[in-house]
Each structure stands twice: as structure tokens, then as C-alpha cells.
Structure 1
Amino acid sequence: MGAEGIAVSQYVPPPSVVSHNRFDTRTPLQQVFYWEADQWEQFTCEWVRMRKDEFGYLGVEIIGGTNDRGADVVAFMSEQRLNGEWHCYQCKHYSDGLTLDDALPEMIKPFAAAVETTRTLPTKYIFVAPRIHSRLKDTVLTPAELKRRFLSYMDGRTRPVAALTPETRHAVRELAARTDFSMFWTVNLDEVLEVYSKSPLFASRFNLPPTGEPVKLIPPPVPGVNEARYLKRLLDVYQEKFGAQIATVKDAFEHPASGQHLGRQRVAFFDAESLRMYARESVPGDAYQELQDDVLDNLIEVAVRDFPSGWERLQAVLQASGQLNISGSLLASHFRNSQRKGMCHQLANEDKLTWCTGGSW
């Protein structure tokens, strides 16, 4: 429990999850408190979408705005959408904890919408806020008390109540009196972050590296068409160094000098491909492409130097790849030496690197 009775999340990221930016040591919890209201709303929508299967949602949308009638994020449970069963997520991002006095005016809105429009009441109405005052949490946990407080509020003359027409005010109170107030919930920030931390969006949203490890890919016995270009580049190197008798990949594997080398390069290529797949599934955006572009910018300066042979150019580039400083990438912790060498072959596979003279860069 935080100061002044405000419930504060105790969420702590897994030990393996640390900021990749050494100048920003803020936890996700700390970062959230500095967001703008629209960032919080988008974050809430993303979190709700992560729970679609759990709750059987057919769709999740942001409605938030001046005429949202208390529905910032809505989740539909039937094709009837707001005319059927649905859940409402009310997003509040205040510098202080969300209080009961903050919540009561918002609670009028779903009832007024049900009275004045064709909307049904949501079966769940959830307040989502970084900080929630303990008094609000305690009251929501006792639906009968929450209902009593709301009906008493409707009998008062506060501005939100006075803004209703007498007819609407009476209808809202009557509807509320017939309603089970267990529809109202609050959610703790640590619960939100626990779900969110399992998403690929977590790393991007909070400036953290992705969790988990790439799945190891084993090179197939027979090279596929996806390997054709970089293997041709390697064959050029082997022919130049060991002799023209190495005309095919099979020849290169059978040659006593090039066979083991070629095997290692194929393992490295597939290690890099596994990292590419991992990035696609675990990191939003183009983190792998950005990393590859940065690597190429550095390695091309090595590759364009004068070398007596393609073999020496290849070895120089592979060695340089292991010395690159790529600490700014979300993938830095996974970019091991084998993946670095494999990326060189990926770049050769895309005609961005070549080893023997006469090729294009």
C-alpha cells in the first residue's frame, strides 16, 4: 500500500528483463506514471486484446472521446456489439489515485446511455488506472455498498447529476436500483503488466529487450533455394582458393579443405535465420532489419578494401562482424558470434556482400 492509502502495484519484471538503455533504469511501473492519457488508453486496449481468447471477445475497440458515454475501450461478446453482451474498460490516468468521487460520475454514464440510446448495460464495467485509491477498491469489492453509495449520489445535487434532465435522472436511478453492482470492477496495474509482459509489445513499449530464446534451426541435408546466392558466393571463394574442381555444393562438401568450413557457414546462416524468425515473433516493428542495416553499414567498409583473395575478404568480414558494438538493438543479447557470421551470409544471399572481385556490393 502506498502513501495516503493509495494502492500501488508491486509488479517487478522477471530478473532476465532489464533495460537495454543503461541511461534509463526506470521500471515499467515507473514509466507508466509519466504517460499521457491517450498512451494509457492505447495500452489498455492492447492489454484487453491480449485477453480476447480468455473472455471470448469477438472484437475490441477504442471509443474514447467526448461522446464515449463512459466507454473508452469496449469488448464485444456477440455480433450485437453494444446492443448485446459487452465489457467496458474505463481508462483513467491521473497523477493521484483514482477515488470513489472520481468513479461515481463515470458510473452514471453507462446507465444514462442505456436509458437514452439502444445500448445495453455492459456486463462488466472495469476501471483501469495506474493508481487506485484503497477506498475505491474496498467499495467496489462490496457491490451492495457501492450500490448504496451510488444511489445516494444520484439523490444529491452534484454537477454530473444536475446536468441530467429530471426524466433521465429518475430513469437512471430506477435502472441502477434494479442492477447488480457486481458489474463494476477495478484492476491492479501489476495484473495488467503481468499479462502484457508475455506479449511481443512489451519490449517495444517499455524499452526492454525481448525475453525467451530463438529456436535453433538445423540446416537441411540438401540446401534449399533460399540458400542459393550465399552458397554461390562461397563456391566462388572455394574455387579461387582450392581449385576449379569445386563446381557444386556437393564438391565443396567432399573437398577435404572446404567441407568443414562450408558446414560451419551453413550452421551460422541458419542460426541467423532463427534470430530473424525470433525477432519477427517476439519484437514488434523491424528490429531485425534495423540491426541488419547497421551491420551492413559497418561491414561494407571492410568488404570494399583491397584483399589479395576472396578468402581473405570473407575472413576479414566474418572477424569484423564479431567485433561490432550493437548494444542499442533490442536483439543485442541474442546476437551471438554464430548469428553475426550468419548475418554476413544473409547479406551475401541478398547480393549486399560479395567475396570475390567482380561481384556487386
Structure 2
Amino acid sequence: MAMPNQFDRRTPLQQVWFWQPEQWEEFTYEWARMRMAAEGYLGVEIIGGSNDRGADVVAFFSDQRLNGEWHCYQCKLYKDELKLSDALPEMLKPFVATVETTRTLPTRYSFVAPRIHPRLKDIILTPVELKRRFLSYLEERPRPVAALPSATLRAVKERVADTDFSMFWAVNLDEILEVYSASPLYGSRFNYPPSGKPAKLVVPPEPNADEARFLEQLLDVYQERFGVHIATVHDAFTHEETGEHIGRQREAFYAAESLRMYARESVPGEAYEDLQSDVLDNLIEVADRDFPSGWGRLQSVLQASGQVQVVASVLISHFKNIERKGMCHQLANEDKLTWCKVGNR
């Protein structure tokens, strides 16, 4: 039996201190993609690496990409708060890139760090002061500046002089989570249980194509047990022995479909498919036994579904008896379970 899923009790901030820089970049990339529609981005990509020229994650507005209008996200995963002394060397890189490559200057350059020092936040909120500090940094010629060819440094200073420093922003973890926490990725990224509960699907009065095969299998069972005069779903609805039974099976099927949709929208990955596979591995052993009738096989499998141990699934709190029975019919709908087998009738 699989071990129970141990959800993380630490806050996101406590967790990110143990991340690798690549994880922080991926997290920033996911957040930027969540904001594509609001910002009007055409695309978002991770560059990262030693030659990223200060652009870990980029978001662009046109097919020109980094030759057109774009936003830059510089990801910094430090144990301490991001300070001005950390930011200044990074601010140099996009200006150098415009001199040495065909890249345009980003219209927004955001530092993304778990925590931003209040003084850096304050300076970034005053672009005139930030520009003054950066010009002083260039004049002091620390190692990154001193390493530049003189012609490149002159060109950088010219671009800096003509640049509005309101392009620089700083974003901390709390600001990212305002958007990210509403995403299905949130639970997976921080190993939290999914939020909310499945929205109940209404069972349609008339069966639709999505439930056709599992209903056919039920008709096989009814015909075998009660007679061939139960030839259609309508016959089953109106028959005194099967009318209530088929109604309960449809309710179970749609309860399981509700859980499937919830998992798709609230849990990243294939949590429902994994759960279904785990359940099938158990039920197939029951279904493969010799039964004198399809009715006996159906009833035994439905009963066994309530005893399957699935404590490792993040969906366990929503996987009640009705969803378990409904999953049996989902599996029958895909012919992964069969009630009436030749030779076992």
C-alpha cells in the first residue's frame, strides 16, 4: 500500500529557501505566464544561464521578441533580502546588451526575489534617485564596470542618460502569490492539498454519448438477469427491477465525472488518472474471478471499490463511495472493466 501523502506545513517563504535557482526561475516563468493576458504578452520564455545578459525570464509583445518591446524578469534567490548593492551590477547588463547585441532595452525590468530590502524598494519607487545612484555606480568603476571596453562604457552612459528609470521594478514572493495562489499549480508547487470541492454535475434526463458504453454494459447485465425484453435504456428506466438501479449508477457516474473535472482544474498533473489507474489495478483482480453472472461481477466490483486503499492520492478527501462506484462505470465506459464475459454467464 502506498504511503499517505504528506502535505507540507511550511509557508511558501520557508520552502523557497531550500529551492535551487532553477526552481525560482521556473516559478517566476509560471507566474509570468499566468499574467500573459493581463499584460498582453505574446509569449514568455526562460533564458537563464551564464550568458543571459541579465534576463532570466523574458516576456515579449510581438514577433520581434527581444528586438521589439519586451519585459525582463531577473530572478534572484538569496538567503537575505535583495539589496541595492545586489541590483546595481544586474542593472548594468541590459544596457551593455543593447550595445553589444541587437537587443532593445526592455520597457520593464523587474527584480524578482523572495524578499526585497525596504531601502531598495524605496529607491526603485523613486526612479530619479535610482538613476542618480546608478550613474554614481558607473563613475566609481567597480569590477563589472572596469571590465568594460572604454567604447562600450561610453555607449552605456549615453543610453543611461536617455533612459527613464521607471522601467525598473522589484517584485517579492508575496506579490507573486497574489496571482499564483489562484492557480492549480499552487498546490503542486508547494505540496498543499487542493482547495475547494468538486462542483456537482447535474445528471441529464436523457443519456448522452459520453455515457453510452457503460450503459450498454448495464443493459447486458439486465438482459442476462431479467430477460431480453430490456433491450434499450428506456426499457431499463421503466422496468420495475432496474429503473431505480440504473438511476443510481448514472448518479454515481456523474459524481465521478465531477471529481474528474475538479482534478483537471484544481490539481496539476494527472492526479485523477493516477487514482483511476491505482483503483483499476485493484478491481481488475476482482473482475477477473469466475462469476455465475454479470450481475454478480458488477455487484462484487462495486462493493470492492469501497474497500480500495487510496490514501496516497491528493483527491482522497473527495473520493467517497458514490465517486468510487462511479469510477467503476467510467472504467466500464472505456472497456477497462467488463461485466458480462463469455463463459462466465
TM-score normalised by L of structure 1: 0.88
Q: C-alpha displacement at 1:54, in angstroms?
A: 0.9
Question: Partner letter of residue 231 of structure 2?
Answer: A
> After alignment, is 253-262 or 27-36 more displaced?
27-36
| 2:301 maps to 1:317 | yes
Within a 5 Å distance, the mapping from 1:1-361 to structure 2 comes to 21-22=5-6, 24-358=8-342
Q: Which runs of no fewer than 5 residues in structure 1 stay unpaired?
A: 1-19
Q: Does structure 1 conserve the Cα–Cα contact (< 8 Å) formed by 2:89 and 2:144?
A: yes
> After alignment, is 217-226 or 56-65 more displaced?
217-226
Q: C-alpha displacement at 1:308, in angstroms?
A: 4.5
**Whole-Å separation in 2 of the counterparts to 1:272 and 1:298:** 18
Question: Partner letter of residue 63 of structure 2?
Answer: E
1:50-83 CA deviation, whole Å, 9 max, x = no partner?
1011111111111212221111111112333222
Aligned to 1:45, what secondary structure does the other structure show?
Answer: helix
**Whole-Å separation in 1 of the counterparts to 2:178 and 2:309:** 32
**Whole-Å separation in 1 of the counterparts to 2:50 and 2:8:** 35
> After alignment, is 176-185 or 313-322 more displaced?
313-322
Runs of 4+ in 1 over 6 A off after TM superposition: none
Question: Partner letter of residue 59 of structure 1?
Answer: G
Q: C-alpha displacement at 1:38, in angstroms?
A: 0.9
**Whole-Å separation in 1 of the counterparts to 2:309 and 2:80:** 42
Question: Partner letter of residue 33 of structure 2?
Answer: R
Q: C-alpha displacement at 1:211, in angstroms?
A: 2.6
Aligned counterpart, 1:10: none
Percent of residue pairs identical: 72
RMSD: 2.1
The structure-2 alpha-carbon separation of the partners of 1:123 and 1:192, relative to structure 1 and needing over 3 Å to count, comes to same
Question: Partner letter of residue 286 of structure 1?
Answer: E
**Whole-Å separation in 2 of the counterparts to 1:116 and 1:106:** 16
**Whole-Å separation in 2 of the counterparts to 1:118 and 1:85:** 13
**Whole-Å separation in 2 of the counterparts to 1:24 and 1:312:** 43
Q: C-alpha displacement at 1:359, in angstroms?
A: 7.8
Q: Does structure 1 conserve the Cα–Cα contact (< 8 Å) formed by 2:236 and 2:242?
A: yes
**Whole-Å separation in 1 of the counterparts to 2:320 and 2:343:** 28
Q: C-alpha displacement at 1:93, in angstroms?
A: 1.1
Q: C-alpha displacement at 1:357, in angstroms?
A: 4.1
Q: C-alpha displacement at 1:185, in angstroms?
A: 0.8
1:277-307 CA deviation, whole Å, 9 max, x = no partner?
3323333322211110001111223333444
Aligned to 1:148, what secondary structure does the other structure show?
Answer: helix
**Whole-Å separation in 1 of the counterparts to 2:135 and 2:248:** 74
Q: Aligned pair count?
A: 341
Q: Does structure 2 conserve the Cα–Cα contact (< 8 Å) formed by 1:21 and 1:207?
A: no
**Whole-Å separation in 1 of the counterparts to 2:251 and 2:343:** 24
Aligned to 1:155, what secondary structure does the other structure show?
Answer: helix
Q: C-alpha displacement at 1:146, in angstroms?
A: 1.4
**Whole-Å separation in 2 of the counterparts to 1:226 and 1:157:** 69
**Whole-Å separation in 2 of the counterparts to 1:359 and 1:70:** 70
TM-score normalised by L of structure 2: 0.92
Q: Does structure 2 conserve the Cα–Cα contact (< 8 Å) formed by 1:229 and 1:349?
A: yes
